[in-house]
Amino acid sequence: MTSGGSGAVELQAEDGTIYDSTAGAVVHMHPSCLEPVPNLVMLGDLNEAAILHNLRIRYREDQIYTYIGPILVSCNPYKRMSIYTSELIAQYNSHRGGAFSSGLEPHCYEVAATAYNNVVTEGQNQSMVISGESGAGKTEATKLCVRFLAEVAASKEASGVGKEQLLLESSPIMEAFGNAKTVRNNNSSRFGKYMEVMFGPDTDLIIGGRITKYLLEKSRIVGQNRGERNFHAFYQVFCLPGADRKRLSILKASDFYYLNTTGTITADGVDDLAEFQDVCHAFDALGVTKTELDDAFQLVAACLWLGNIQLASVSDTESRVVNQDAVDQAAELLGVQGDQLAATFTDRLMIMRGQATVKVPMSKAEAEDARDALAKHLYGRLFDWITAAINCAIVTDVRPAALPFRTAQLHCRTSSPALTPLCHRRRAILSDCSTSSGSSASL
Ligand SMILES: Nc1ncnc2c1ncn2[C@@H]1O[C@H](COP(=O)(O)OP(=O)(O)OP(=O)(O)O)[C@@H](O)[C@H]1O
Ligand SMILES: [Mg+2]
């Protein structure tokens, strides 16, 4: 820093760039702030500039994790790093004596190890809250923490696949149906997820888990911003074998209105075919049958066909279907009559004074809203079903009496009818929707 006349100063940055400023605007920094520290509380000055400088110089050295007290700050490296090996998992696990006392580099494995240690030694429930802006790396961090727990607390089941493996398998499925390409993240989670991992009362091992999802971004099903995509499942459906695609009358994604308005059908770094294969494998591991898998993708195809139904104005208050073939395709996939389905968009049934049922025509805008509402509701119910199917597989089967309070709820889930055939469920979906969208109840 060099001073000139009238309080003007010249500042030279690390890279040699010269900045002009004034003496009053320059804040002196404690010398310790210039060296990288693994925990920001070690900085002589704890202010925004010192924090950002420290994070930046660590990031340059590929040290993406830094503590601030017991909280871990993670900077997305946007590249594969060799810091997630089984050896490192074992190393962090062997140091879980006390909170963040390992002396190892800050790492999300250390947070997971500390939480695990508190569960098994103190018997206390633990929460890991992972937050940040879109693309920050929350989903990746969650998977890394689950992977850590899965490795150190594998249930070692005598036969079959352990619950921890099923927990890991749930990710590709939830991501296929709940993630999408956005302008900020090619694999953005468009729903909130709360995942529980459960440990036995007299064992340090995983005995089950449960996923609670909330706030699925259903508006994405019927429209996306430029450069964005619908949920990945809408593109994976085109990876079905040719005979299945023929049965569902789906040839290419660009034929469908819910997919072709944003100019983005493919996404960099998203391999729809490989991910579709992962989804099939994961469903299989979770005990979902091939028929149920086919039904799930049939519902996705039905949503696509709903989106292709065009409506036109007959008058200000009345509308009609333009392309009955799209209605028939959607109706066939949903197992209902085409004319019944068309009527739900063009007319609504109203009960007058609790007695007579009157048919009230809907305008073009109302009819389009009813069509989109049906697609959103169908997909939302499919997502509910998928979450329930995963929970059925990962839920513990240890009796609640032998477990701490948390598992009492689990027992209810085990006996839930989540895996009833999807065709029954599909009917339930339709009748629910026709009530909620205000359309005809005749479905
Ligand atoms: N630890 C990491 N190592 C390597 N790459 C990472 C890491 N964390 C994140 N990434 C990269 O950044 C991308 C975005 O991360 P992620 O999907 O986890 O973000 P997010 O916080 O869940 O975003 P959103 O809120 O949109 O769901 C990942 O697809 C991956 O390519
Ligand atoms: Mg995410």
pLDDT tens, position by position, 72-91: 999 999 999 999 999 999 99
Query: Which pLDDT does position 399 carry in this prediction?
Result: 43
Which ligand does the CA of 75 lie closest to?
1
Residue located nearest, by CA, to atom 30 of ligand 1: 78
- State if residue 136 touches ligand 1 by the CB under 6 angstroms criterion: yes
Q: How far is Cα 221 from Cα 259, in angstroms, rounded to an integer?
A: 9
Q: Is the pTM of this model over 0.75?
A: yes
Query: Which pLDDT does position 29 carry in this prediction?
Result: 86
* Inter-axis angle of helices 338-346 and 324-334, nearest 10: 110
Find the range with the poorest average confidence among 135-144, 157-166, 376-385.
157-166
- State if residue 438 touches ligand 1 by the CB under 6 angstroms criterion: no
pLDDT at 265 over 80: yes
Model confidence over 41-52: pLDDT tens digits? 999 998 999 999
Residue located nearest, by CA, to atom 14 of ligand 1: 135
Q: Tell me what percent of the residues of the chain surpass a pLDDT of 70.
A: 86
Distance 42 CA to ligand 1 centre (A): 28
- State the burial class of residue 76 (Cβ atoms within 10 Å of its Cβ: 0-12, 13-18, 19+): middle
Query: Which pLDDT does position 172 carry in this prediction?
Result: 96
Q: Tell me what percent of the residues of the chain surpass a pLDDT of 90.
A: 67
Q: For residues 418 and 137, which has the higher predicted lDDT (pLDDT)?
A: 137
Q: Provide the token pair at 248.
A: 């569902």
- State if residue 142 touches ligand 1 by the CB under 6 angstroms criterion: no
Among the listed residues 256, 225, 251, the one whose alpha carbon sits nearest the alpha carbon of residue 240 = 251
Q: For residues 262 and 402, which has the higher predicted lDDT (pLDDT)?
A: 262
Mean residue pLDDT of the chain comes to: 85
Q: Provide the token pair at 212.
A: 């609670």
Query: Which pLDDT does position 97 carry in this prediction?
Result: 54
| For the CA of 179, the nearest atom of ligand 1 | 27
Angle at 193 between CA 206 and CA 228, to 5 degrees: 135
Q: For residues 27 and 361, which has the higher predicted lDDT (pLDDT)?
A: 361
- Strands 206-214 and 311-313, by their bridges, are unpaired
- State if residue 75 touches ligand 1 by the CB under 6 angstroms criterion: no
The residue to mutate among 74, 75, 76, 171, having the most atoms of ligand 1 within 8 angstroms of its beta carbon, is 76
Query: Which pLDDT does position 74 carry in this prediction?
Result: 97
- State if residue 203 touches ligand 1 by the CB under 6 angstroms criterion: no
| For the CA of 74, the nearest atom of ligand 1 | 1
Model confidence over 180-214: pLDDT tens digits? 999 999 999 999 989 999 988 877 899 889 999 98
| For the CA of 132, the nearest atom of ligand 1 | 21
Query: Which pLDDT does position 26 carry in this prediction?
Result: 85
The residue to mutate among 59, 78, 129, having the most atoms of ligand 1 within 8 angstroms of its beta carbon, is 78
Find the range with the poorest average confidence among 3-12, 300-309, 322-331.
3-12
Distance 293 CA to ligand 2 centre (A): 24
Number of Cβ within a 10 Å radius of residue 216:
21
Q: What are phi and psi of 359, to 5 degrees?
A: -90, 120
Query: Which pLDDT does position 406 carry in this prediction?
Result: 26
pLDDT at 155 over 90: no
Which ligand does the CA of 135 lie closest to?
1
pLDDT at 401 over 50: no
Q: What are phi and psi of 360, to 5 degrees?
A: -115, 125
Query: Which pLDDT does position 158 carry in this prediction?
Result: 57
Which ligand does the CA of 62 lie closest to?
1
- State if residue 193 touches ligand 1 by the CB under 6 angstroms criterion: no
| For the CA of 142, the nearest atom of ligand 1 | 18
Cβ atoms 320, 410 nearer than 8 A? no
Which ligand does the CA of 64 lie closest to?
1
Query: Which pLDDT does position 438 carry in this prediction?
Result: 27
